[in-house]
Amino acid sequence: MTATGKLASGLRAVASTLTNAFLKTTHNSFALLGLAVACLVITLSARPDLRLQGEAHLRGWLEARQSAPGDAEDTLEFDEPSERALAADPQGLPQEQARVAYWLSKKYRVAPEPLSLLVGEAYEIGSKTKLDPTLILAVMAIESRFNPFAQSAVGAQGLMQVMTRVHTDKYENVGGHLAAFDPVTNLRVGVQVLQECIRRAGSLEGGLRYYVGAANLETDGGYAAKVLAEHFRLRQVASGRSVRAAPPAPTLATKAADAAAPAAAPAAPVAAATEKVALLSDL
């Protein structure tokens, strides 16, 4: 046999050996795999809890794959609603409070449901602070017309038009300065400021002048009179008396007044705004 023939014979022998080894390894691997599958089947049959757990994991994996970006159509998902209620059923209020809520709703063209929440809160806070709840509601009405997102030219914000940057300490434990736009929080902080103003002035009318920042001015632009007049009407409504709720027809004068910030004195708006910031910062 020539050298070439011996080389070819040797290569065939090596190839045959490698092929047999591969086949045996593959055979053994499949045998081991089959044995493993059999053991797994026996285990799952004997332990249904493991089988159920495995199915749950597999189902979760498949659902995660289906909801992956690009695998399915985009869908709009909503978070859970806020724990704090934003409205209340007026019919669930005591009769006196319901009358006030419906009257304010009609006059200021605000939905009765969110107003009912504010009315109930005003009555609860009023009982704790010894302030007439209809006075609290009257201040809200004149200050913001029950717009929780209102902001004046000098930075008074929310329902009670509190100077947020001045009274930051009152917002520290309730979520910070952004809580000024939460209706209930703004109401509570505004009542604190109003209490301090009344205590400082020694009278309700004087406290309202302090609240609007006109304590040291010749006039408050009629602010205190407006609040007290609305307070009187609300007390009549609360007692069951009939009071006209519709606002008067707007004139050029009232349109100009409505366009101005509620807390600004028409006679001297710049001075009043400065005075409000200065006085309230001392409370």
Q: Where are the domains of the chain?
A: 3-66, 90-281
Taking only the tens place, the pLDDT of each residue in 12-46 is: 776 677 677 666 666 666 666 666 666 666 766 66
* CATH class of the 90-281 domain in this structure: mainly alpha
Taking only the tens place, the pLDDT of each residue in 98-155 is: 999 999 999 999 999 999 999 999 999 999 999 999 999 999 999 999 999 999 998 8
Q: How many CB atoms lie within 10 A of CB 258?
A: 11
Q: Can you give the pLDDT at residue 175?
A: 74
Helix (H, G, I), strand (E, B) or coil at 151: strand
Helix (H, G, I), strand (E, B) or coil at 156: strand
Taking only the tens place, the pLDDT of each residue in 225-254 is: 999 999 999 999 999 998 876 554 443 334
Residue 4 has pLDDT above 80, yes or no: no
CA distance 12 to 8: 6
